Amino acid sequence: MVFLPDRRYHCLVADQIVATPEIRDYIRDVSLREDSILAELRALTANLPGGVAMQVMAEEGQLLALLVGLSGATSVLEIGTFTGYSTLCMARALAPGGTVVTCDISPRWPAIAADFWRRAAVHDRIDLRIGDATQTLADLASERGGDSFDFAFIDADKTGYGAYYEASLALVRPGGLIVIDNTLYFGRVADPLNQDPETVAIRSLNAALRDDARVDISLLTMADGITLVRKK
């Protein structure tokens, strides 16, 4: 029997698929493994001011856990804790004896995370630092030295991304991975008329990453844009 392709698909090319609501629902149905603790934390966060926009998608949390596991990371740096969903995902995926050092400007939202971290039995793997991220990163460089983390995740104030990237690059070991969230920033980066400070900062970082010979990169068109950066 000869297979004849469906004529409806003759004009299609292997290009980026549009993530319609139907496609997103399908992806979640066939691949998402969010347990009850994570689902409860995500639902609680969604009801907070700005919660939906600020928390990572469940699929992204699952991707972070996969990447941490694949890298065999024992030391993870997170810049931007919020309510601790991504922190929990990564802490669960750590190699034995590992630690996530996560930092946030205020104790308000991480206080919500604490109970969920305890319930998931990962609270002893999490080192929460409260304060200005730039200062926290400088303190970590003094405490631990360079090349002391296996993995970093940046998801904080966008105007600080350039500084956070450079500090993370110094702290992550050669061969380590840096994951940067929101690198498409609601699609605004592609609009040259959009010149708000956050969009300009992300656009500038994306251009700098493209030309940074110190790293290998891949910008994923997932969620709000996720850039994977491997330190050479």
User: Going residue by residue through the chain (232 aa), what tens digit of pLDDT does each one get?
Assistant: 344 445 554 455 567 778 889 998 999 999 999 999 999 999 999 999 888 889 999 999 999 999 999 999 999 999 999 999 999 999 999 999 999 999 999 999 999 999 999 999 999 999 999 999 999 999 999 999 999 999 999 999 999 999 999 999 999 999 999 999 999 999 999 999 999 999 999 999 999 999 999 999 999 999 999 999 999 9
pLDDT of residue 12: 55
Task: Kindly list the domain boundaries of the chain, sorted by start residue.
Answer: 36-231
Supply the CATH classification number for the domain 36-231: 3.40.50.150
> Which pLDDT score, from 0 to 100, does residue 74 have?
98
- Helix, strand counts (H, E) of the chain: 9, 7
Q: Is the Cβ–Cβ distance between 68 and 93 less than 8 Å?
A: yes
Contacts of 229 (CB under 8 A, 6+ apart): 165, 169, 177, 178, 179, 180, 209, 215, 216, 217
What does the pLDDT read at residue 14? Answer: 62
Rg (the chain; Cα; Å)? 19
Cα separation, 115 vs 124, whole angstroms:
12
At residue 93, the pLDDT reads 98
